């Protein structure tokens, strides 16, 4: 029997991409899953894939809403607990960037974009985690945050996005140190390039997204020789959430990028 059989999981941002792939993996392993996003049609597709993976209809809860809305955060937790009785795992996957000011220096971008990135990538994680803690404490559960390798890169085309993800990494560490006293484990996975619609959601065109991803699919950019897919990250999230496999990992920030961070700007062929 899988560790996740009967466990209750919330995966934010699960209407597409990494969130969808992760929700489907949890469903495949017997978990009861709350899926959430802003697009009803996309969320319905996630549910369909969860059912195809083996979930029962009563084991999937769909909630449509804006993750930065405080009242929706409250509803996300209370509705999950009301339906399933408890909460074992929170996956803070929802987040995003903005391509409106791509390539500009950090001081040339309006500060309003910084506020937007902090709200989307940090504040809602703190708020939702705080609401989840009383329930996770009862189950000795886990929180897995999804950050980004841009948190550690000095030069990215979206400075405020990178800054918000760096903040999220520190939030992960601080939460881990605090919440382990309650028996709750907190860790983070920081993906590199992954094939999702994230850039389109951020404001890019489909052609721009395809061009960017197409330019990454070689060993010069990604030593592994291919771009990531949602399952690559979802499997790591499940590993962090599985206490039987990763109980000794607390406050870890795991880079999952196919080797991107190994590349040297000085020694390109090293």
Residue 55 CB partners (closer than 8 Å, separation 6+): 27, 28, 32, 33
Q: Does residue 199 contact residue 212 with C-beta atoms inside 8 Å?
A: yes
Distance CA 187, CA 232 (A): 16
Cα separations in angstroms, 8 against 27, 91, 132, 142, 249 = 10, 11, 12, 11, 21
Residue 213 CA to chain centroid, in angstroms? 19
Q: Which of 21, 27, 72 is nearest to 53 (CA)?
A: 27
Q: Which residue has the tokens 């009383």?
A: 134
Q: Clarify whether 161 is annotated catalytic.
A: yes
What the block records as the tokens of 11 is: 């995966």
Distance CA 184, CA 75 (A): 22
Please identify which of the residues 26, 158, 160, 161 carries the catalytic annotation: 161
Helix or strand run (H / E) with residue 243: helix 243-246
Q: What is the SS3 assignment for 144?
A: strand
Residue 164 CB partners (closer than 8 Å, separation 6+): 114, 117, 118, 120, 121, 122
Q: Does residue 28 contact residue 5 with C-beta atoms inside 8 Å?
A: no
Q: Does residue 234 contact residue 256 with C-beta atoms inside 8 Å?
A: no
φ and ψ of 74, to 5 deg:
-60, -45
Which amino acids are annotated catalytic? 161
């Amino acid at each position: 029997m899988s560790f996740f059989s009967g466990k209750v999981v919330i995966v934010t941002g699960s209407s597409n991409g990494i969130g969808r792939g992760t929700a489907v993996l949890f469903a495949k392993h017997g978990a009861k899953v709350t899926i959430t996003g802003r697009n009803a049609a996309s969320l319905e597709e996630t549910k369909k894939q969860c059912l195809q993976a083996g979930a029962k209809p009563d084991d999937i809860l769909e909630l449509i809403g804006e993750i930065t809305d405080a009242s929706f955060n409250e509803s996300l937790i209370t509705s999950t607990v009301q339906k399933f009785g408890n909460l074992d795992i929170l996956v803070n996957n929802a987040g995003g960037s903005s391509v409106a000011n791509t390539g500009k220096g950090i001081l040339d971008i309006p500060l309003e974009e910084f506020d937007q990135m902090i709200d989307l990538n940090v504040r809602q994680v703190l708020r939702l985690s705080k609401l989840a803690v009383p329930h996770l404490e009862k189950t000795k559960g886990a929180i897995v945050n999804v950050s980004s390798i841009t948190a550690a890169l000095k030069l990215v085309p979206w400075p405020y996005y990178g800054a918000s993800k760096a903040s999220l990494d520190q939030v992960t560490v601080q939460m881990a140190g605090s919440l382990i006293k309650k028996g709750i484990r907190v860790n983070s996975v920081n993906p590199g390039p992954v094939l999702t619609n994230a850039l389109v959601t951020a404001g890019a065109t489909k052609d721009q997204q395809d061009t960017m991803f197409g330019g990454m699919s070689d060993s010069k950019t990604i030593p592994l020789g291919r771009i990531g897919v949602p399952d690559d990250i979802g499997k790591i999230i499940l590993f962090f959430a599985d206490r039987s496999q990763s109980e000794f990992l607390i406050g870890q920030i795991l880079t999952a990028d196919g080797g991107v961070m190994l590349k040297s700007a000085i020694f390109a062929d090293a």
